[in-house]
Amino acid sequence: MNAENIIFYLLAAMTLVSGFMAVTSRLIFRSAIYLLFSLIGVAGLYFWMQYEFIAAVQIVVYVGGITVLIIFSIFLTQQAGEALPAAIFSNKLAAAMAAVFGLALLLLQFRNFPFLESTSVTSPAMKEIGSRMLDVEQTGYALPFELVSVLLLAAMIGCIVIAMRPQHEKENK
């Protein structure tokens, strides 16, 4: 067992264990921190696969952006020190059964399905990603890129409108 494999298994264990703690911890702030470590583990797996650009995007957007947003909303909406009420047992049982049977089904499929793994394993260079992203030819991704930019603008305006205090409330204060 060489260092590469050991790092892979450590990253996998970190991702799964902290992901599980994130969905089961009763303290909401702690659960956000476990989510942070799980997302860092996924970024580590991208680094392990030598997809450095995706790993960097994962760290910037998820670890730096979404987790901070979640922590802010926790501070805005509740007492972070209080424990959440425990989940209803029948709900927990049903969800656990759905998760376990779904996972078993998928693992069985992975075991039996013959994936045609390629022999030449490469990872894309930064330059290729950039030129492919803004390519307007048949295989380029310029149109989805523009669509996503419009979507981000719409989401930004939508967030401001939703979170804005209505006019009559302001006048009452």
Partner 1 sequence: MQPGLYHILCISAALFFIGAFGFLTRRNLITMLMGLELMLNSVNLNFIAFDKYVWPGKMDGLFFTLFIIAIAAAEAAVVIAIIINVYRSTHAIDVEQTKQLKH
Q: How far is the CB of 75 from partner 1 (least distance, A)?
A: 11
10: contact with partner 1 by CB under 8 A:
no
Kindly tell me which residue out of 10, 83, 106, 142 binds partner 1, with binding defined by CB under 8 A. Answer: 106
Residue 59 within binding range of partner 1, rule CB under 8 A: no
Least distance from partner 1 to the Cβ atom of residue 111, Å: 8
Both tokens assigned to 119 = 């022999």
**Per rule CB under 8 A, is residue 142 in the interface with partner 1?**
no
Q: What is the DSSP string of 125-171?
A: -HHHHHHHHT--STT--HHHHHHHHHHHHHHHHHHHHHHSPPHHHHH
We find the least distance from the C-beta atom of residue 103 to partner 1, in angstroms, to be 5
6-21 burial string, b = 16+ CB within 10 Å, else e? eeeeebeebbeebbeb
Per-residue DSSP letter, 83: B
Binding of residue 116 to partner 1 (CB under 8 A): yes
68 lines the binding site for partner 1 (CB under 8 A): no
- Which residue of 10, 56, 83, 103 would you call a contact of partner 1, by CB under 8 A? 103
- Count of H helices and E strands in the chain? 8, 0
With contact defined as beta carbons under 8 Å apart, do 43 and 55 qualify? yes
108 touches partner 1 (CB under 8 A): no
Query: Contact with partner 1 (CB under 8 A): which of 10, 56, 83, 133?
Result: 133
